[in-house]
Amino acid sequence: MNQTWQFDTIAIHDENHSHQTKPIAQPIIPAVAYAFSTSEMAALVVSGEVEGTFYGRYGNPTTSKLEEKITQLEAGEASIGLSSGMAAISSAILALVQTGEHLLVTKDIYGGTYNFLTHLAPRFGIDFDFVDCTDGEAVQSAIKDNTKALYVETPSNPLLTIVDLRKLSAIAKEASIPLIVDNTFMSPYLQNPLCLGADVVVHSATKYINGHGDVLAGFVVGSKRIIEFIRKRIAGDLGQHLNAWDAFLILRGLKTMGIRMKAHCQHAKQIAEYLMDHPLVEHVFYPGLANHPQHQLAKQQMNDMGGIVSFELKGGLKQANDFMNQLKLIIISFSLGDPETLIQHPASMTHFSIPKEERLTFGISDGLLRLSVGLEDPSDIINDLEQALNGVMEEGVGDEEKKMFSK
Ligand code: PLP
């Protein structure tokens, strides 16, 4: 692939045009098994001495094309496409941490990652601790002799906390452990953790990378050694491969990633500013707002502020439910990064499995909502938010609540 092209060009084009004809859209190659010229060649390919595709669980030509692009867009050495973001996260952790070893994890993370760490990882003897990764000293002192990796999400889900990747990578290097970063909320368009010193990047490509809400997929990007280990020893054996059909859809979605991400960011900023001024809104979490605790850091390590806005309503659970139920355009749903604006209530949806006391220590209150701002006209999104917020204000608000809602 052309090394001098810019992001959008790499995302759209395959390679320099030749005089021969070739398909512009990537072909879908669904074949499971691949033929060898000789039995000796079969042995060489299977042993890895000669590069080649041999069986669908260990690689596919359409998926390989996509992996090449993701590797380049994340500025990595190699990448592997997997069946979901959770397949990517669990594979990366299993590749780096084993029985009797310890993982250090930032304190607010996606609920599925929390589930994996609290339920499945202990069955394999993997120990972990949560640590506030905005505090470098706390991270340093939480590293144990058997700590084998540091895992962070930035911005985090759902509170949009930003951690300093340069600082954390320096701490990790000092301790000779790899830094793994979940870059889902940013996409490779807005942040490249490997360029900031991280060792491994994981993505839920279900979100912005595909961008159309019709594929579950994940990626791990890192050194050739780690990616080959995941391909052969984890994903291949567990059967977590990304199939050719889904890889094709992602290759198509990637072509518009640049313009999609720009629009997501522009719309999210407008909506965050709108929500800041509404009397029913207690707090808005958006790294692009000057009052965000890591606003300056966000400006240094991210190309823009992303499409997710979280906010807390005054009142709590009842107000959050009433508000969501009055929305007419915005869809109540789990995912994020789609063209449609989606809203979810972390306490009862994505982070439901975290016990309430623990959830509250992470800052995920009953009144917190997470909005994945879509690509619709932002004035329509704001009008919908406005009518639902005003509906909650007007409905059943007694004198006490009126006092509470007035700023
Ligand atoms: N990482 C983050 C930050 C997420 O928000 C999600 C899902 O919402 C995942 C990982 C898991 O992705 P998937 O649903 O593709 O397994």
In this prediction, residue 396 carries a pLDDT of 57
Structural domain of 205: 7-254
Q: Does residue 372 have its Cβ closer than 6 Å to ligand 1?
A: no
Is residue 86 in contact with ligand 1, taking CB distance under 6 Å?
A: yes
Domain boundary among 254, 289, 308: 254
Q: Is the CB of 154 under 6 A from ligand 1?
A: no
State how many domains the chain has. Answer: 2
Same domain, 178 and 145: yes
Are residue 100 and residue 184 in the same domain, yes or no? yes
CATH code for the domain in which residue 171 is found: 3.40.640.10
Can 110 be counted among the known catalytic residues?
Answer: yes
Q: Which of 237, 254, 271 is the last residue of a domain?
A: 254
With the most atoms of ligand 1 within 8 angstroms of its CB, the residue from 84, 110, 190, 343 to mutate is 110
Q: What's the pLDDT score for residue 397?
A: 55
Quick one: which of 323, 320, 311 has its CA closest to 276? Answer: 311
Residues 129 and 197 in one domain: yes
Block residue for tokens 């042993």: 47
Of 65, 69, 110, 151, catalytic: 110
**Cβ of 84 below 6 Å from ligand 1:** yes
How many A from CA of 50 to the centre of ligand 1?
34
Whole-angstrom distance, CA of residue 218 vs CA of residue 113 = 13
Residue 278 makes CB contacts below 8 A (sequence gap 6+) with 385, 386, 389
Does any ligand 1 atom lie closer than 6 A to the CB of residue 110?
yes
Q: What is the distance in A from the centroid of ligand 1 to the CA of 344?
A: 14
- Does residue 104 sit within a domain? yes
Rounded to 5°, the CA angle 133-180-312 comes to 45
Report yes or no on 1 lying in a domain: no
Locate tokens 């029985």: which residue?
99
The neighbouring-strand residues paired with 309 are 371
Best residue among 204, 246, 343 to mutate for probing ligand 1, ranked by most atoms within 8 Å of CB: 204
Do 181 and 310 lie in one domain? The reply is no
Q: What is the 3-state secondary structure (H, E, C) of 170-237?
A: HHHHHCCCCEEEECCCCHHHHCCHHHHCCCEEEEECCCCCCCCCCCCCEEEEECHHHHHHHHHHHHHH
Residue with CA closest to ligand 1 atom 12? 85
DSSP line for 268-288: HHHHHHHHHT-TTEEEEE-TT
Is the CB–ligand 1 distance for residue 91 below 6 Å? no
354/206 same-domain check: no
How confident is the model over 93-120, as pLDDT tens digits? Answer: 999 999 999 999 998 899 899 999 999 9
Side chain identity at 296, as an amino acid letter?
Q
Cα(323) to centroid(ligand 1), Å: 25
Which two tokens mark 218? 């994940």
Point out the catalytic residue in the list 164, 182, 338, 366.
Answer: 182
Domain contains 270: yes
Report the separation in Å between the CA atom of 279 and the middle of ligand 1, taken as the mean of its atom positions: 32
Q: What angle do CA 148, 152, 155 make, to 5 degrees?
A: 170
Count the alpha carbons within 13 Å of 240 in the hemisphere toward its beta carbon: 25
Domain membership flag for residue 2: no
275/143 same-domain check: no
CA distance 218 to 86: 7
Q: Which positions of the chain have pLDDT values less than 50?
A: none
Looking at ligand 1, which atom is closest to the CA of residue 156? 3
Same domain, yes or no: 334 and 304: yes
Instruction: Indicate whether 20 belongs to any domain.
Output: yes
Q: How far is the CA of 197 from the centre of ligand 1 (A)?
A: 23
Quick one: which atom of ligand 1 is closest to the CA of 153? 3
We report the CATH number of the domain holding residue 365 as 3.90.1150.10
Shared domain for 192 and 269, answered yes or no, is no
Do 211 and 305 have their domain in common?
no
Q: Do the Cβ atoms of 324 and 315 come closer than 8 Å?
A: no
Residue 125 lies in a domain: yes
Query: Would you put residue 316 in left (φ > 0), alpha (ψ -120 to 50) or beta?
Result: left
Q: Has 299 been annotated as catalytic?
A: no
Q: How much is the pLDDT for 22?
A: 85
Residue 261 lies in a domain: yes
260 catalytic per annotation: no
* Ligand 1 atom 14: residue of nearest CA: 85
153 lines ligand 1 (CB under 6 A): yes
**Dist. CA 85 → ligand 1 center (Å):** 5
Active site residue 57: yes
Is residue 190 located within the same domain as residue 306? no
Whether residue 266 is found in the same domain as residue 378: yes
Whether 67 and 161 share a structural domain? yes
* CA 186 to centroid of ligand 1, rounded, Å: 12
Q: Which of 220, 254, 288 is the last residue of a domain?
A: 254
